[in-house]
Chains A and B, each alone.
Chain A
Amino acid sequence: MSTYSDASSVSAPVPRALRRAGFSGVVPALAFVAIFFIVPVAALLLRSVLEPVPGFGNYAELLGSATYLKIFANTFIVSGLVTAISLLIGFPVAWALAIMPGRLASVIFAILLLSMWTNLLARTYAWMVLLQRTGLINKMLMGMGLINQPLPLVNNLTGVTIGMTYIMLPFIILPLYGVIKKIDPAILQAAALCGASRRQCLTRVLLPLAVPGMAAGALLVFVMSLGYFVTPSLLGGTANMMLAELIAQFVQSLVNWGMGGAAALVLLVVTLSLYVVQLRFFGSQNTGGR
């Protein structure tokens, strides 16, 4: 990422033939994206202003209804919670990975990646089995005498948050690891030598240096959470419905594509604006997190 932006900022004159060759290489990829992504999305968005009658009626209905606004709020609350908890859990893990011996780290990486590669539906069902009232966790807690009544851990906000955080963790650990690994250990040693306490080393040296990785990971997790479907649908209750589920209902069940398109556009606009904000504050070179 950084090499790319350096090269373009220097903007050395590229020979025309070379430039044309580079461009024609990109054409198939651009055409692919245009045909299979941009055109269908544009068609759905067009429906949002054309169906059932031309105009902005769908948007008025979507943004004027307390129910739909609540679904928007749910989406942001869940995504925010998941991002915050992922960050809290992910940071120490990424840090530990960066400083532990290579062999141990690669074992932990393997575990992380394996969990990412396991079927999402299977993992979500596994959480359902663990969290339900008659599930392993409740049975264990009751067996240990810690609780008398099973805790409501699933079909509610708790269930969605646990399930989604678990699924999102690798997406925050990996970019954070990349950034922390790049921090020169000599800087921390220097800070310690200059009399910084361990706490000061963390809060005034390590954390600020890791901010780009945190921002990149948090954005990734937040944006992915906004559009999440399977896990909230299975682990949440109907009261914590999220936007993706609403869109699916409009498209598949109610066959109301106007409203579905409108909801999809709102989600797209929110996602893009978040990305723009991220680029503005942290710059493109920091989102790579190698």
Chain B
Amino acid sequence: MKHTFAFTALAAIMALAIPAKAETLVFSSWGGTTQDAQKAAWANPYTEKTGLQVMQDGPTDYGKLKAMVEANQVTWDVVDVEGDYAAQAGKNGLLEKLDFSVIDKSKLDPRFVTDYSVGSFYYSFVIGCNADAVTACPKTWADLFDTAKFPGKRTFYKWSAPGVIEAALLADGVAADKLYPLDLDRAFKKLDTIKSEIIWWSGGAQSQQLLASAEAPFGSLWNGRMTALAKSGVNAETSWEQNITAADSLVVPKGAPNLEAAMKFIALATSAEPQAALAKATGYAPINLESAKLMDAETAKTLPDQQTASQVNADMSYWAKNRDAIGERWYAWQAK
């Protein structure tokens, strides 16, 4: 008797769940203020336009994504990932090809478009400084690596990703157009010189906390976090000198249950207005080239796309190829 009841209940739940699933789309991102902004700028207009619900999930986890695809149990339809990961995962067969008859790529910044991914937003690693806590703020990567001129703790991104290795090489005098292929030996040697003075940040909120509390009065941060810090009243100074760009990307895992809806969602998310709305909310730059026209001048000034003169582009295809090898060296060096 009990069993019959359980099975009936299970069948009823499944019957309810299947049609509900067909009308929803699951979007996974990194959580925090960025995902809140993505929900407001992308998911809400998408629901208004199509009537489809967008469920928010996260945080994005590459191990989980791989497990879903391998087990053929994909629950994410659209995922926000780092650009270098997107390039690698596309090659490794973990992603669906994007349908560019639905997604209009003619208006998108070509730096951030591949067969398997389009940019989500783009950001820069900039040199951030709490001007109240120090007598002088470092302006260049060389300054940030100069412990004699700028004594004290500095903070850097903890994970193996484009940004820190490039900064070390630029600080050591490598020309911006000669960065790739990365000279890892030289980069780690340079990093060794400040290793004892580094406090690592593993998430954006932590980087803000470190800077605001002057635990590490300067360091390399995502530009959006600096904008938010300045807004919150901290005397936060940003140097855009050789700001290093990288992008987040939107991808569709292989076997995603709502493929068509996923393409439509990406098409909307990368269109001019939602991109502009996200940029206003986060301080990260739009990847749609027409969004700039929709921005107010005040916000536009603070975005990486206004800083292209001094910009250094992290090479995502190089990173995609060498991501694993760099990662292993990176963590081994950190733990040493």
Q: Which residue of B lies closest to A132 (CB)?
A: B215
Asked if A132 and B336 make an inter-chain contact with CB atoms under 8 angstroms apart, the answer reads no
Q: Mark B60-72, 1 if CB is under 8 A from A, else 0.
A: 0111101000000
Q: How large is the interface on B (under 10, 10 to 19, 20 to 34, 35 or more residues)?
A: 20 to 34
Q: Is B16 an interface residue (CB 8 A)?
A: no
Q: Is A278 an interface residue (CB 8 A)?
A: no
Asked if B324 and A256 make an inter-chain contact with CB atoms under 8 angstroms apart, the answer reads yes
In the complex, besides A133-B215, A256-B328, 20 extra interface pairs with C-beta distance below 8 angstroms are A67-B332, A67-B335, A70-B335, A132-B213, A155-B199, A233-B202, A238-B158, A238-B200, A239-B334, A239-B335, A239-B336, A241-B335, A246-B331, A246-B335, A252-B63, A252-B64, A253-B327, A255-B62, A255-B66, A256-B324
Name the distance in Å between B54's Cβ and chain A's nearest Cβ.
Answer: 24
A binding-site residues for B, Cβ under 8 Å: 65, 67, 70-71, 132-135, 155, 233, 237-239, 241, 246, 249, 251-257
Asked if A251 and B332 make an inter-chain contact with CB atoms under 8 angstroms apart, the answer reads no
One of A67, A135, A251, A255 near B336 (C-beta < 8 A): A67
Asked if A253 and B62 make an inter-chain contact with CB atoms under 8 angstroms apart, the answer reads yes
Provide 28 A-B residue pairs closer than 8 Å at the C-beta atoms, listed in order of the A residue.
Answer: A65-B332, A67-B332, A67-B335, A71-B335, A133-B215, A134-B213, A134-B214, A134-B215, A155-B199, A233-B202, A237-B200, A238-B158, A238-B200, A238-B335, A239-B336, A246-B335, A249-B331, A251-B63, A252-B61, A252-B63, A253-B62, A253-B159, A254-B160, A254-B327, A254-B331, A255-B66, A256-B324, A257-B63
Name the distance in Å between B102's Cβ and chain A's nearest Cβ.
Answer: 29
Contacts of B199 in A (CB 8 A): 155, 237
Asked if A70 and B336 make an inter-chain contact with CB atoms under 8 angstroms apart, the answer reads yes
Contacts of A155 in B (CB 8 A): 199
Name the distance in Å between A273's Cβ and chain B's nearest Cβ.
Answer: 24
In angstroms, Cα B332 to Cα A241, docked, is 10
Name the distance in Å between B101's Cβ and chain A's nearest Cβ.
Answer: 31
One of A132, A233, A238 near B334 (C-beta < 8 A): A238
The 9 closest A-B pairs by CB, nearest first: A238-B334, A67-B332, A252-B63, A251-B63, A241-B335, A132-B215, A254-B327, A134-B213, A255-B62
Name the distance in Å between B192's Cβ and chain A's nearest Cβ.
Answer: 13
Known: A134-B213, A134-B214. A253 touches B160 (CB 8 A): yes
Q: Report which residue of B64, B160, B328 has the largest number of chain A beta carbons within 10 angstroms of its beta carbon.
A: B328
In angstroms, Cα B328 to Cα A254, docked, is 8
Asked if B63 and A255 make an inter-chain contact with CB atoms under 8 angstroms apart, the answer reads yes
In angstroms, Cα B164 to Cα A238, docked, is 15
Contacts of A256 in B (CB 8 A): 324, 328
Contacts of A65 in B (CB 8 A): 332
Q: Which residue of B lies closest to A260 (CB)?
A: B63
Name the distance in Å between B176's Cβ and chain A's nearest Cβ.
Answer: 27
In angstroms, Cα B92 to Cα A256, docked, is 13
Name the distance in Å between A121's Cβ and chain B's nearest Cβ.
Answer: 12
Contacts of A233 in B (CB 8 A): 202
In B61-102, the 8 Å CB interface with A consists of 61-64, 66
Name the distance in Å between A60's Cβ and chain B's nearest Cβ.
Answer: 15
Q: Which residue of B lies closest to A155 (CB)?
A: B199
In angstroms, Cα B64 to Cα A133, docked, is 36
Contacts of B159 in A (CB 8 A): 253
In angstroms, Cα B61 to Cα A67, docked, is 25
Q: Which residue of A lies closest to B335 (CB)?
A: A241
Name the distance in Å between B213's Cβ and chain A's nearest Cβ.
Answer: 5
Asked if B213 and A252 make an inter-chain contact with CB atoms under 8 angstroms apart, the answer reads no
In angstroms, Cα B331 to Cα A70, docked, is 12
In angstroms, Cα B331 to Cα A253, docked, is 11
In angstroms, Cα B202 to Cα A241, docked, is 14
Q: Which residue of B lies closest to A253 (CB)?
A: B159
Q: Which residue of B lies closest to A66 (CB)?
A: B336
One of A71, A241, A246, A252 near B62 (C-beta < 8 A): A252
Q: Which residue of B lies closest to A248 (CB)?
A: B63
Contacts of B158 in A (CB 8 A): 238
